[in-house]
């Protein structure tokens, strides 16, 4: 009798203890203050001891294939080191095919579990499994929500980052950047999309590494990214974005240079955002401005950008109609042989006549360059030049070679060469009267496209020149590997000082001219404004000049009058 009572009491008390532990387990798992893993593990340890178990292991596999490859996370809930055999094993597969397993071990010397005990252990195991799968799946869901299909942090992750920093008053003094990889479709064309993906990934990771824990980098889709970093890091980040060789083939070490345009917002101290748009809108509009040709392709946000944006939209709207109405006129700026004073050629420059006033190219060319609209304008210009040349030839004038500017945007166009030749031939203009001015490239892919185009033009007997040589990042390769006819030296190489003293510009000028000569290129100095600059040209044997000293870009009628043996007066000194 006594004995029986004790048995009942003991089993009652163990049963009570079991329910107490189970309740504590549930409380620990549903604690709104967050998960306390230590607490959870200590309850599970108590439960294992209670059921004489030596070990309990929970594992999580993200999918069935992960389970097959045995690639999962392991939670060792309890292990007293005694080992033993698996006595119970529970496995669940969730709706999204994640797998969670739980196994408990018992040393052989222990008394086997009764059916009642088995049922209880089974319940605990299933409770734990359910919990683990829910928590883990939450992580997976969060991972999916914050990343795009290729595993890049996405816009939601960026927004969350901004919000978290904002809550901590930590945005002030940081820098937000929106950047776009330039001509990435060309890179894809050139090295293939798969290698292109590798480039994007490596470029992204390179920037992530540069910024480290001080900020974040997220991909918005395609070749658009946003980043947040410290003010101190800005210089190195912009350096990275300006142009970085990125590896895309680990075996061969092949690289491609990637450059980006960027809109930057220097977040002022004490800045608090009401909504993420307060920052996003600013970097988006700055990056749009950067794409349309900001200095070094970086534009810092300020309020004037809003006005610029309005202007930009006006130009975009008015352009098609203006083109139809032939509101664009060709102005010709003479190129002069400074030994003889003779007209040696001219550059066709665009002027927009609208409502009685003349809009200069700087106000609309960069806008048109944002899209391929610029190509329409360039072909329009070429066509008008050909028309004029044809007429001058028919009128028996002494014509000179006319150069036409082609935007880099054309490099995307595989039919470019044919299109140019087709226009020139339509007006039956001998090819030697046409010169195409092109500027330097910033990416390898563009470089190769440029090489192809210049070679093609050359083969067709059409002249080519490198425009604005020396501004930006001219590489020697540009002139060594591409068979140009003419190097147009940018006016920033000409000395500004009136005394003509040998400043660094003059020295650079000297070397550029000498180098061009050595490579068999003829060179022309742009923007010659003063007599003293003309002297520098003479000293360095640069024979051709273009600039206000001789003529501004002239309307057709005035330029035509220079086509009959006109000579510029030369004020030769010394």
Binding site for ligand C2E (CB under 6 A): 333, 349-350, 360-362, 365, 374, 377-378, 381, 405, 407, 467-468, 527-529, 546-548, 553
Binding partner of 322, given ligand C2E, Ca ion, none, CB within 5-8 angstroms per partner class: none
Binding partner of 553, given ligand C2E, Ca ion, none, CB within 5-8 angstroms per partner class: ligand C2E
Identify which of residues 171 and 528 has a Cβ nearer to ligand C2E in the complex.
528
Least spacing, CB of residue 337 vs Ca ion, in Å: 19
Least spacing, CB of residue 384 vs ligand C2E, in Å: 10
Q: What CA–CA distance (Å, rounded) separates 73 from 136?
A: 10
For Ca ion, the binding residues in 250-309 under the rule CB under 5 A are none
- Radius of gyration over every alpha carbon of the chain, rounded to an integer in angstroms: 36
3-state secondary structure 247-292: EEECCCCEEEEECEEEEEEECCCCCCCCCCHHHHHHHHHHHHHHHC
Binding partner of 223, given ligand C2E, Ca ion, none, CB within 5-8 angstroms per partner class: none
The full DSSP string for 418-456 is: HHHHHHHHHTT--GGGEEEEE---SSHHHHHHHHHHHHH
- Contacts with Ca ion by CB under 5 A: the residue count is 5
Least spacing, CB of residue 144 vs Ca ion, in Å: 51
Query: Is residue 467 involved in binding Ca ion (CB under 5 A)?
Result: yes
Identify which of residues 215 and 553 has a Cβ nearer to ligand C2E in the complex.
553
Of the candidate spans 133-141, 294-302, 353-361, 460-468, the one that interacts with Ca ion by CB under 5 A turns out to be 460-468
| C-alpha 534: how far from chain center | 42
Least spacing, CB of residue 333 vs ligand C2E, in Å: 6
Q: What CA–CA distance (Å, rounded) separates 267 from 184?
A: 29
The answer to whether the CB of 210 falls within 8 A of the CB of 179 is no
Q: What CA–CA distance (Å, rounded) separates 562 from 567?
A: 8
Query: Is residue 437 involved in binding Ca ion (CB under 5 A)?
Result: yes
Least spacing, CB of residue 488 vs Ca ion, in Å: 5
The answer to whether the CB of 525 falls within 8 A of the CB of 510 is no
Least spacing, CB of residue 330 vs ligand C2E, in Å: 8
The full DSSP string for 456-491 is: HHHHTT-EEEEEEETSS---HHHHHHS--SEEEE-G
Identify which of residues 446 and 526 has a Cβ nearer to Ca ion in the complex.
526
Query: Is residue 369 involved in binding Ca ion (CB under 5 A)?
Result: no
Enumerate residues 6+ apart whose C-beta is below 8 A from 486: 435, 463, 464, 465, 466, 521, 522, 523, 524
Least spacing, CB of residue 494 vs ligand C2E, in Å: 9
Identify which of residues 221 and 360 has a Cβ nearer to ligand C2E in the complex.
360
For Ca ion, the binding residues in 526-555 under the rule CB under 5 A are 526
Least spacing, CB of residue 469 vs Ca ion, in Å: 8
Query: Is residue 435 involved in binding Ca ion (CB under 5 A)?
Result: no
36: left (phi over 0), alpha (psi -120 to 50) or beta: beta
When binding is defined by CB under 5 A, the residue of 405, 407, 442, 474 that contacts Ca ion is 405
Least spacing, CB of residue 405 vs Ca ion, in Å: 5
Query: Is residue 401 involved in binding Ca ion (CB under 5 A)?
Result: no
The full DSSP string for 33-100 is: T---HHHHHHHHHHHHHHTT-SEEEEEEESSHHHHHTT--EEEEEEE-S---EEEEEEEEE-TTS-EE
Q: What CA–CA distance (Å, rounded) separates 397 from 399?
A: 6
Helix (H/G/I), strand (E/B), else coil: 167? helix
When binding is defined by CB under 5 A, the residue of 79, 370, 468, 535 that contacts Ca ion is 468
Identify which of residues 361 and 456 has a Cβ nearer to ligand C2E in the complex.
361
Q: Look-up: residue for tokens 């690639």?
A: 71
For Ca ion, the binding residues in 471-530 under the rule CB under 5 A are 526
Q: Look-up: residue for tokens 């030596």?
A: 54
Q: Which residues bind Ca ion (CB under 5 A)?
A: 405, 437, 467-468, 526
């Amino acid at each position: 009798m006594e004995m029986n009572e004790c048995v009942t009491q003991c089993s009652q008390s163990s049963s009570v203890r079991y329910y107490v532990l189970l309740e504590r387990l549930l409380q620990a798992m549903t604690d709104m203050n967050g998960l306390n893993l230590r607490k959870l593990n200590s309850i599970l340890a108590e439960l294992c001891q209670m059921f004489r178990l030596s070990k309990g292991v929970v594992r999580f596999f993200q999918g069935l294939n992960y389970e097959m490859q045995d690639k999962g996370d392991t939670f060792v809930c309890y292990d007293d080191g005694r080992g033993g055999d698996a006595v119970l094993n529970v496995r669940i597969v969730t709706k999204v095919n994640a797998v969670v397993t739980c196994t408990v071990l018992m040393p052989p010397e222990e008394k086997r579990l009764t059916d009642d005990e088995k049922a209880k252990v089974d319940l605990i195991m299933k409770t734990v499994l359910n919990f683990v799968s829910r928590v883990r799946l939450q992580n997976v869901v969060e991972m999916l929500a914050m990343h795009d299909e290729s595993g890049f942090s996405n816009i939601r992750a960026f927004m969350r980052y901004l919000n978290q920093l904002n809550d901590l008053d930590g945005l002030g003094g940081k820098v937000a950047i929106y950047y776009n990889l330039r001509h990435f479709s060309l890179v894809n064309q050139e090295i293939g999309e798969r290698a292109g993906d590798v480039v994007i990934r490596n470029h992204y990771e390179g920037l992530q590494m540069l910024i480290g824990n001080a900020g974040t980098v997220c991909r918005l889709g395609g070749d658009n990214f946003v980043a947040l970093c410290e003010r101190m890091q800005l210089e190195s980040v912009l350096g990275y974005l300006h142009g970085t060789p990125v590896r895309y083939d680990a075996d061969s070490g092949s690289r491609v240079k990637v450059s980006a345009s960027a809109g930057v917002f220097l977040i002022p101290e004490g800045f608090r955002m009401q909504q993420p748009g307060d920052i996003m809108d600013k970097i988006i509009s700055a990056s749009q401005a950067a794409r349309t040709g900001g200095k070094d392709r970086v534009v810092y946000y300020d309020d004037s950008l809003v006005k610029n944006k309005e202007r930009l939209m006006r130009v975009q709207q008015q352009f098609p109609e203006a083109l139809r109405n032939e509101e664009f006129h060709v102005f010709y700026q003479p190129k002069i042989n400074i030994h003889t004073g003779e007209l040696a050629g001219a550059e066709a420059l665009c002027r927009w006549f609208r409502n009685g006033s003349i809009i200069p190219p700087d106000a609309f060319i960069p806008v048109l360059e944002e899209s391929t609209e610029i190509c329409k304008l360039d072909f329009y210009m070429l066509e008008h030049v050909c028309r004029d040349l044809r007429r001058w030839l028919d009128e028996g004038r002494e014509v000179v070679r006319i150069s036409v500017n082609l935007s880099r945007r054309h490099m995307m166009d595989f039919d470019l060469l044919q299109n140019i030749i087709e226009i020139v031939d339509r007006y039956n203009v001998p090819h030697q009267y046409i010169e195409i001015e092109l500027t330097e490239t910033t990416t390898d892919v563009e470089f190769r496209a440029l090489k192809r185009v210049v070679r093609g033009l050359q083969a067709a007997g059409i002249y080519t020149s490198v425009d604005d040589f020396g501004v930006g990042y001219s590489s020697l390769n540009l002139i060594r590997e591409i068979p140009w006819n003419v190097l147009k030296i940018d006016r920033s190489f000409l000395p500004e000082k009136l005394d003509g003293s040998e400043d660094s510009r003059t020295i650079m000028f000297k070397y550029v001219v000498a180098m061009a000569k050595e490579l068999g290129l003829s060179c022309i100095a742009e923007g010659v404004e003063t007599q003293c600059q003309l002297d520098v040209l003479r000293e360095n044997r640069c024979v051709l000049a273009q600039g206000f000293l001789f003529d501004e870009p002239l309307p057709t009628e005035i330029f035509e009058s220079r086509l009959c043996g006109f000579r510029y007066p030369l004020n030769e000194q010394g």
